[in-house]
Amino acid sequence: MSIENRKYSKVVKAGKRTYFFDLESNKVDEKMFLKITESKSKNDGFERQELKIYIDEVNNFVEGLNQTIEFYNSNIKNIKKVTSKIEEYEYF
């Protein structure tokens, strides 16, 4: 995505990771979307992952995120980490 299509950008540093919150529009129909990029340092450079959410779905995304955070915050004492090859979480 070119810089001309970027309308807003916010950078959040969190330890070894950096998150970029970019509001952009696509070239074809100028439809706006939120692009969230996680960048983390690796021995051979950086690893990046992106998530694009179109503006008409942002409210649903934020609602689901807020519900997940609320659940986590109110149940933190009941969540037990299970160690295995894949991280799994057991509720209650």
- Residue 22 sits in which domain range? 3-91
Write down the pTM of the prediction. Answer: 0.72
- CA–CA dist 2, 85 (Å, integer): 39
**Domain containing 18 — which CATH number?**
3.10.450.700
Query: Tens digit of pLDDT for each residue in 30-43?
Result: 899 999 999 998 88
Q: How many domains does the chain have?
A: 1
Could you read off the pLDDT of 59-83 as tens digits, one per residue?
Answer: 999 999 999 989 888 887 666 654 4
Q: Which residues pair with 45 in a beta bridge?
A: 42
- If phi > 0 it is left, if psi is from -120 to 50 it is alpha, else beta; for residue 43 that is alpha
